[in-house]
Amino acid sequence: MAELALCGRCNRKLKDRKSLGRGFGPVCWQKVKEDKVVGKSEQGSTTGRSEGA
């Protein structure tokens, strides 16, 4: 076994091929997906910053 990847979230060793491909364990992958959905609303440059003018 030359490949040894760690979960990008909890740094645990990934032994499943699926997890290795994602870079996250099954549990953390769910969290990552959830985070992505939540962080989506952070996009958009609609800051009510009215400076100057």
Is-contact 25 19, C-beta < 8 A? Answer: yes
Residue 23's nearest CA partner among 4, 8, 2 is 8
- End-to-end CA distance of the chain: give it in Å, rounded: 63
* Residues in binding contact with Zn ion, number by CB under 5 A: 6
Q: How far apart are CB 13 and Zn ion at their closest, in Å? A: 10
Write the binding mask 1 to 40 for Zn ion: x where contact by CB under 5 A, - elsewhere: ------x-xx-x------------x--x------------
Residues at the interface with Zn ion (CB under 5 A): 7, 9-10, 12, 25, 28
